[in-house]
Structure 1
Amino acid sequence: MTYTIVGVTGHIDHGKTTLVAALSGVDTDSHPEEKRRGITIDLGFADFSIGEHQFALIDAPGHQRYIGNLLSGVSRVHIGLLLVAADQGIQAQTIEHAAILAAMGVEHLVVVISRCDLVAESRIEELSEELVFFLSESGFDHFPVLPISAKTGQGLDELKCALVERALPVGSSETEVGVRLPIDRAFRVEGRGWVAAGTLWSGQISVGDTLTLARTGEKLRVRGIEQHGTAVEQSAVRRRTAVNVVGNSGDLFRGDEFLSPGAAVASQRVVVQARSFAESPELRLPIDVQLHSATTSCTARLLSCERRGRGEMTQGQDCVVILECTQPIVMTSRQLVLLRLPYPIGSFAGGRLIGDLEFLRTHRLPRASIGRRGLRLGASEISESEFCEKLSSCSASDTVFSSQHASVWLAQLGEVNLADESGTLAHLAAFYQQPQQEIVEAFGSLTDAEKALAIGSSVTTLQFVEKVSRWQTHLLATERQHQQKLWLSRSSVVQHCEGYCSTGVAEFALRRAVKSGDFVMVGDQVAIASDETKLSKRQLARLEELVSSIQGLTAPPSGKELSAQLNCQPKELEALAKFAIHQGRLTQVASDLFFDPNALGALIEKIVRRIGDATATVSELREATELTRKHAVPLMEYCDRQSITIRTGNDRRLGPQGIRIAESNARC
């Protein structure tokens, strides 16, 4: 058993609708305007069977003005039926329709010379030779040319045999996953709601299923399904399908699509591997064009990948271009598109979608920056034009997402989290129509071949890690220049990398810079390696002794006592203390007195609580902090300098900084 969709095309008034009626018994010109003018304006649909072979006919309009309607109908047909009237020969729309069928990837072509009863046999032979020559230049070969008269019935049996020979067995389907139904016809039925019809590109639809309307994101329930006027419970891939849906808040239109999760992606900025037609004029880019893909059409800006979108497009040229669309288009990798200009040029190029640049803008790790004139570090290792060219190269050699694709995407994204199933992996799986596991394996093969680094659940490149290190270096240098801080805590450096890379990659870059000698790490503190931040092993040991001697104490030893305790000279102690202060591990309260910052903070909390909204004397504050005069007096003077307290005679009240601390405590 076979089921085949046939697109009937050709110049206006060459007998397409008459032939469809002769094959199926259905007059597809149902629109009043079509009856009045005697031409097909919109798509017509009919079906007929020959034994076990069922054919769905799509009667496409031939007039140049209604070419958009034709494109909605032939977006996924298996056989293209091209009609040429014997008494008129090859016309303008014959040429354009042939180019469209080739560009839209129609597998089989059957050429019909209609109205053969009106001309001599010699004219039919002459026209047949012209068609073979003309269509071979359009990329078609091995196609039958059949003289037919719908009026007398001549040649109809031969045409039916040609269709049967090219029929597609039921069950033959694309490897795409998920439901995708581009809509080429939509109308409202009183009491039933909206009915949308189209060719089911992938997946299966059953009554009761929930589908997503791509344009709005609304969830719609399938109330009923029909195929060629017969109600069914389930529709299979590649069949003409009409679904009755409920749940949409607005109207449905041609160009809308029904999807299941992961069936496709939507984008307004795409990369296309294009080929201009042999008869198309030379075009200067950028230029506004009409984009047709699936059943959708919209205006788009056509740009070259280079020179800020400027370039040329010549006859028969293969090129990679960028399309900036006025609306999101639903897309998958290698989906066919057609590009048109207003009459008299018409269709001038076809191509395949190979990349989504909008996804890169929204999901690529953002640029890092510091300050108005700070460092800008894009995640990508290659330019946008290089990305497009490399995508074109690997798309030409591989029809599935391969390690080549993974390498190109990783160079643009900088880092991919292989454990995040909802982000990059989900997008690539939907775009390339492959299971996420295969996408993960493609990225994993890069680490196996030592072309990428595996850091935690992420995969990245050495070049990206080096960019992260440059960002961290700039961060430390900026803090030193503007904040007079030589040291930052390790956690602070890593936190500043959020939004640019993962924590794992930030930590890896930090460790790598320390190992290479670019950074110095003492305890939890990090600094750029310099004479001010480098210490010998002996000095590092002494530094740790100094910090340990003070850590946690609310009444630490004086500088003189520490020198004796550590058996070091006062100048060496002063240098080590200064080093620890830069790191934030000690706070200098007086010339000869250093505190652990945490212990100092606890003492200040006690002082703030004791004073409150009133005042307090040194004796009262000594009692609150449980300190002797040796430590209490320098501590009070430190609080005065820091505006934590304000001294008036023997009393102290809270200063601006003390008030802020009190308010913060109250909120907590």
Structure 2
Amino acid sequence: MIVATAGHVDHGKTTLVGVLTGVDTDRLKEEKERGMSIDLGFAYADFGHGQRIGFVDVPGHERFLRNMLAGVAAIDFALLVVAADDGPMPQTVEHLAILELLGMQRGAIALTKTDRVSAERVRAAQAEVRSLLAGSGLEAAPIFPMATTSGEGVQALREHLRDSARTLAAKTARGHFRLVVDRSFILPGAGLVVAGPVLAGSVKVGDQLIVSPQGIPVRVRGIHAQNLPADAARAGERCALNIAGSELRHEMVGRGDWLIASALHAPSDRLDVSVKVLSSEARALAHWTPVHLHIGAAVANARVAVLGERAIAPGQSGFAQLVLDAPVAALQGDRFVLRDQSAQRTIGGGEVVDPFGPSRGRAKAARLAQLTAMRIPQPAQALNALLDAQPEGVDLERFALARNLNVDEMDALRTALSIHVVNAPDGRLGFSQARWRSLQAQVLAVLEDWHGRQPESLGPSEAQLEAAVGVPARSPLLSAVLVELVGQHKLRRAGLCVSLAHHVARLSEGDAALLAKVSTLLEASGLRPPIVGELARMLEMEQAVLLAFLERAAALGHLLRVAKNRFFLPATMEALAEAARQLAGESEQGSFDAAHYRDRTGIGRNLTIEVLEFLDRIRVTRFVGGRRRIA
């Protein structure tokens, strides 16, 4: 269990930790000289029954609140210290508000210096504390009257901490490793050591990690867990890691950084969050307010983009996007605190809902519905709700990353929810079975209607089908649905057209005869069909009359108009598309250029450009950096 002190300056936090553990956590020269904690202090104690407890002693002075916030970023238990003579003071109130914003619900109150006041004052101070705690997560926390000089109350508090540690549910080492760096130092003979609480996963000697957000690869050379040498450390422990790396310099790592598994390295400068504004604030939190963001052990400058309403009233909560000056390594569920631009007061805080907030459409109703789903703590329930709120697919890799789910955990989730997975250019998209079946039914209904209204047409193109069923252009979902329906022999493709398997296009007798003549000539010309003028001479037709027919045949899907004066048979274009696929497949880079395509097909330079541009338009290929890839 990790315990952090909290409370006003000079109320006896450091003295109390010293009495409990035998360790003086004031390690700096200035702290010794001034008799006041300036930075975080650390101590460990074994209270019996194998309950080894780590203590983080925080400074109480308002000028060092930044350090206090770094110390309480990831703790299990809060020890709020209040002097009986003073009672609750300004920093008592602010520290309690911070603990509340961080979601702390386990703790105890040490009422110190009871030997300096009367019994009546002790009772009054207890009442003041109880009133302060009302409505907070620590409302039911026990109060321990204490006098550290005589030892009064020390044993009772020690036993309570021991029992709390014993009943604290062990944190599962699920997910990838995450450590909040709140301390770094050079150890003679060992090198750089970073220390902090482990939020998730586990690590062992020899593991490769990343210093984030910088992205520096390191290797773990040694581990101390809960201040004892260890081969491994896991979630719920404070640990110190001796790290090394070819790109690592000592000054590169410090408080506010993260040490994480490489799979988690995805720093972001836009965090979609749920924010609660303190009821003590005089005014609402307005859109685009500049703030200091405290998250993990880091502090960053940010702007608050309020979503939905343009402001969040005191005592109220709402969604917002934090737009940061520099990226941080945050994940879903991470708690944070906001302070005003001058860093003089705490405004509010909350939790990260989506660490990868979009720059566009962030305040739309559909996006707010997605955030409502994402805020659900349980991954399975959140994903299930998100599938309903995001009909165009949930990026499963991004969901797993935001929730720190490893491959096995995500696969188990996908199986449990019967998610239909579609491979898209940017990753795997997940869809509910209801959405999948609904779109299949829509496609079949649209085609039935299309054939009824246009019996002479082969069917709509995929782009026309997208518009008819209401999915975005180039939808990977629709493409996957079509592939499955073709595989089930419910649909077939003819060139760019999609039709029901039983559909036969019914052309007029004259058009059918002319199409047969045109097809014969185009087929005989191979991969290089004649231009319209040449085709008209071969058919002994007026060029304008033939062009009108060719355009009509292309509109119905029987021909493909590749260029202004050149039409192809669908089968010919499929052969040219297959040549592109083969070239890309033979390349180590998965791409090819126009010269290679010209040589493979033998169709000449000018026609090569026309064909490749057509393949780009129909989404067979994609032009990137002077080369083409299969789209």
TM norm structure 1: 0.68
How many angstroms does 1:415 deviate by?
3.9
What do the CA deviations read for 1:107-133 (whole angstroms, capped 9, x no partner)?
312111111111111001001011111
Give 3-state SS (helix, strand or coil) of 1:96's partner: helix
Residues 123/342 of structure 1: CA separation in 2 closer, same or farther (3 Å cut): farther
Query: 1:365 matched to which residue of 2?
Result: none
Query: 1:395 matched to which residue of 2?
Result: 375
Query: 1:252 matched to which residue of 2?
Result: 253
Instruction: Indicate which of 404, 415, 430 corresponds to 1:433.
Output: 404
Residues 552/163 of structure 1: CA separation in 2 closer, same or farther (3 Å cut): closer
2:474 is aligned with 1:501: yes
Residues 587/177 of structure 1: CA separation in 2 closer, same or farther (3 Å cut): closer
Residues 543/35 of structure 1: CA separation in 2 closer, same or farther (3 Å cut): farther
How many angstroms does 1:285 deviate by?
2.5
What do the CA deviations read for 1:276-300 (whole angstroms, capped 9, x no partner)?
2222222333201111122222111
How many angstroms does 1:246 deviate by?
0.2
TM norm structure 2: 0.72
Paired residues for 1:227-238 under 5 Å: 227-238=225-236
Query: 1:269 matched to which residue of 2?
Result: 270
User: Which whole-Å CA distance do the structure 2 matches of 1:285 and 1:501 have between them?
Assistant: 35
Give 3-state SS (helix, strand or coil) of 1:8's partner: strand
Aligned length: 530
What do the CA deviations read for 1:581-637 (whole angstroms, capped 9, x no partner)?
8886699999xxx99899x9xxxxxxxxxxxxxxxxxxxxxxxxxxxxxxxxxxxxx
Instruction: Indicate which of 302, 305, 321 corresponds to 2:304.
Output: 302
User: Which whole-Å CA distance do the structure 2 matches of 1:271 and 1:587 have between them?
Assistant: 46
How many angstroms does 1:256 deviate by?
0.9
Paired residues for 1:370-519 under 5 Å: 384-392=364-372, 395-396=375-376, 398=378, 400-407=380-387, 410-411=390-391, 414-415=392-393, 424-434=395-405, 435-441=409-415, 444-445=418-419, 451-453=434-436, 501=474, 505=478
How many angstroms does 1:356 deviate by?
3.2
User: Which whole-Å CA distance do the structure 1 matches of 2:321 and 2:348 have between them?
Assistant: 13
2:325 is aligned with 1:353: no
Contact 1:320–1:389 (8 Å) recurs in 2: no
Residues 213/523 of structure 1: CA separation in 2 closer, same or farther (3 Å cut): same
User: Which whole-Å CA distance do the structure 1 matches of 2:535 and 2:215 have between them?
Assistant: 69
How many angstroms does 1:75 deviate by?
1.5
Give 3-state SS (helix, strand or coil) of 1:407's partner: helix
Query: 1:242 matched to which residue of 2?
Result: 240
Give 3-state SS (helix, strand or coil) of 2:165's partner: coil
Q: What letter is aligned with 1:297?
A: V
User: Which whole-Å CA distance do the structure 2 matches of 1:333 and 1:587 have between them?
Assistant: 49
How many angstroms does 1:330 deviate by?
2.0
Q: What letter is aligned with 1:64?
A: E
Q: What letter is aligned with 2:411?
A: Q
Instruction: Indicate which of 29, 37, 40 corresponds to 2:37.
Output: 40
Contact 2:5–2:13 (8 Å) recurs in 1: yes
User: Which whole-Å CA distance do the structure 1 matches of 2:563 and 2:150 have between them?
Assistant: 108
Give 3-state SS (helix, strand or coil) of 1:164's partner: helix
User: Which whole-Å CA distance do the structure 2 matches of 1:31 and 1:588 have between them?
Assistant: 78
User: Which whole-Å CA distance do the structure 1 matches of 2:287 and 2:507 have between them?
Assistant: 63
Identity level (%): 25
User: Which whole-Å CA distance do the structure 1 matches of 2:519 and 2:22 have between them?
Assistant: 97
Q: What letter is aligned with 1:315?
A: P
User: Which whole-Å CA distance do the structure 1 matches of 2:382 and 2:481 have between them?
Assistant: 27
User: Which whole-Å CA distance do the structure 1 matches of 2:524 and 2:176 have between them?
Assistant: 65
User: Which whole-Å CA distance do the structure 1 matches of 2:271 and 2:567 have between them?
Assistant: 60
How many angstroms does 1:542 deviate by?
2.4
Residues 230/585 of structure 1: CA separation in 2 closer, same or farther (3 Å cut): closer
User: Which whole-Å CA distance do the structure 1 matches of 2:609 and 2:366 have between them?
Assistant: 55
Instruction: Indicate which of 152, 159, 165 corresponds to 1:161.
Output: 159
Residues 550/105 of structure 1: CA separation in 2 closer, same or farther (3 Å cut): same
How many angstroms does 1:97 deviate by?
0.7
Paired residues for 1:177-192 under 5 Å: 177-192=175-190
How many angstroms does 1:453 deviate by?
2.4
User: Which whole-Å CA distance do the structure 2 matches of 1:214 and 1:570 have between them?
Assistant: 67
Query: 2:549 matched to which residue of 1?
Result: 576
How many angstroms does 1:28 deviate by?
0.9
Instruction: Indicate which of 291, 306, 310 corresponds to 2:293.
Output: 291
Query: 2:590 matched to which residue of 1?
Result: none
How many angstroms does 1:191 deviate by?
3.8
User: Which whole-Å CA distance do the structure 2 matches of 1:5 and 1:587 have between them?
Assistant: 69
Of 392-401 and 549-558, more deviation after overlay is shown by 549-558
User: Which whole-Å CA distance do the structure 1 matches of 2:115 and 2:99 have between them?
Assistant: 27
Query: 2:148 matched to which residue of 1?
Result: 150
How many angstroms does 1:174 deviate by?
4.2
Residues 573/286 of structure 1: CA separation in 2 closer, same or farther (3 Å cut): closer
How many angstroms does 1:232 deviate by?
1.7
Instruction: Indicate which of 2, 5, 8 corresponds to 1:8.
Output: 5
Q: What letter is aligned with 2:474?
A: C
Query: 2:424 matched to which residue of 1?
Result: none
User: Which whole-Å CA distance do the structure 2 matches of 1:596 and 1:8 have between them?
Assistant: 78
Give 3-state SS (helix, strand or coil) of 1:141's partner: coil
User: Which whole-Å CA distance do the structure 2 matches of 1:266 and 1:82 have between them?
Assistant: 33
RMSD: 4.7
Query: 1:119 matched to which residue of 2?
Result: 117
Query: 1:643 matched to which residue of 2?
Result: none
Give 3-state SS (helix, strand or coil) of 2:43's partner: strand
Instruction: Indicate which of 494, 509, 515 corresponds to 1:544.
Output: 515
How many angstroms does 1:504 deviate by?
6.6
User: Any gaps of 5 or more consecutive residues in structure 2?
Assistant: 421-429, 448-457, 466-471, 486-491, 499-504, 573-603, 611-631
Contact 2:9–2:36 (8 Å) recurs in 1: yes
What do the CA deviations read for 1:245-292 (whole angstroms, capped 9, x no partner)?
000423211111111144575321112122222222223332011111
Q: What letter is aligned with 2:336?
A: V
Of 549-558 and 201-210, more deviation after overlay is shown by 549-558
Larger Rg: 1
Contact 1:587–1:597 (8 Å) recurs in 2: no
Query: 1:30 matched to which residue of 2?
Result: 27
Residues 544/259 of structure 1: CA separation in 2 closer, same or farther (3 Å cut): same
